Amino acid sequence: MPIESIFSILVEVAHSLQNGISIYSSIVYPTVFLGYFGLGGICCFFKRSYRKHFVVLTFCLFLTASVLAMTVYPFTHMQRYSSVSDQETTGYELRVTDTDDEIRLDPAAVEPMNARLFMLSSKMVTEMNDTQRIRYSRTILDYANSYKNSGYDSLLPTAPTMGVSDHWDQEQLRDIGEFQTVRVYRINQSYTSGSYTDPTTSESCVLEVQPQNNSVIRGC
């Protein structure tokens, strides 16, 4: 297997792990934190010579996370200084349309692809050829239409969660018919110096895919 293919697979696995950790962060972070001290305590109990090494390692990790503002397990939220966002950030967003109306893609509608969804939107623009774009768009539309027509409302979260605004409800889809098109938008956010809480957001449609017509339109 070529080294480029191996590297590409490793990058995709790393992105998938990162996305999975972010989704289940409320479980992963406490587990890692408690597991670290639990295993450390067991080692120190059975091997007292390990106590000094464990204390030194813990102190170094804490110092690195606190002073250098780096995310280091298990001290993932021990930074002394708050993280500063870049002045400009760029991301991609998937939307689906019928003949007239457009709506942001609900991640729950494409559950089997959800773990890779944030990468998929970027890859559709930067890496895929037209054949791949049409194939993936057809899959997205099949999932989205099936989800829309199968009582999706019962799957909505009962309590607010991150990204809850992306979830569809009956009011949004009242006048929307069968999804036929996938669009990819580039989302740019610009931050004012010294204030990172209220970015200026701009968006532009960069790709439109119509699987029924085997059509790929750049720039929408």
Share of the chain above pLDDT 70, in %: 65
* Judgement on whether residues 41 and 134 belong to the same structural domain of the protein: no
Output the pLDDT for position 135.
94
* Mean pLDDT in residue range 166-172: 77
pLDDT of residue 166: 64
Q: Are residues 11 and 62 in the same domain?
A: yes
Judge whether residue 32 has pLDDT over 70. yes
Claim to verify: residue 49 and residue 145 sit in the same structural domain = no
Q: Is residue 76 part of a domain?
A: no
Residue 80 included in any domain: no
| Domain total of the chain | 2
Q: What are the tokens at 12?
A: 């995709």
Contact 168, 152 (CB under 8 A): yes
Residues 113 and 14 in one domain: no
Closest CA to 125 of 195, 209, 193, 60: 209
Nearest Cα to 172, choosing from 109, 107, 103, 99? 103
Kindly state whether residues 7 and 106 are assigned to the same domain: no
Phi, psi of 164 (to 5 degrees): -65, -25
pLDDT(130) > 80: yes
Q: How confident is the model at residue 69 (pLDDT cuts 50, 70, 90)?
A: low
Highest mean pLDDT among 25-39, 71-85, 170-184: 170-184
| Domain assignment of residue 42, yes or no | yes
The CA distance from 48 to 52, in Å, is: 8
53 and 121 assigned to the same domain: no
Residue 160 is assigned to a structural domain of this protein: no
Question: Do 103 and 12 share a domain, yes or no?
Answer: no
Residue with tokens 């696995």: 13
**Do residues 93 and 106 lie in contact, with contact meaning Cβ atoms separated by under 8 Å?**
no
Q: Is residue 48 in a domain?
A: yes
For the chain, what is the mean pLDDT? Answer: 76
* Greater pLDDT, 180 or 51: 180
Residue 26 located in a structural domain: yes
Asked if residue 65 has pLDDT above 90, the reply is no
Residues 6+ apart with CB under 8 A from 29: 74, 76, 77
**Whether 171 and 206 share a structural domain:** yes
Q: Are 193 and 104 members of one domain?
A: yes
CA distance 44 to 138: 56
CA distance 182 to 141: 7
- For 109, the domain range is 88-151+167-218
Q: Same domain for 111 and 141?
A: yes
Q: Are residues 145 and 47 in the same domain?
A: no
- Claim to verify: residue 99 and residue 56 sit in the same structural domain: no
Whether 82 is in a domain gets the answer: no
Residue 162 lies in a domain: no
Residue 146 has pLDDT above 50, yes or no: yes
Both structure tokens of 33: 């934190």
Question: Going by C-beta distance under 8 Å and a sequence separation of 6 or more, which residues neighbour residue 169?
Answer: 153, 156
- Indicate the pTM of the whole model: 0.55
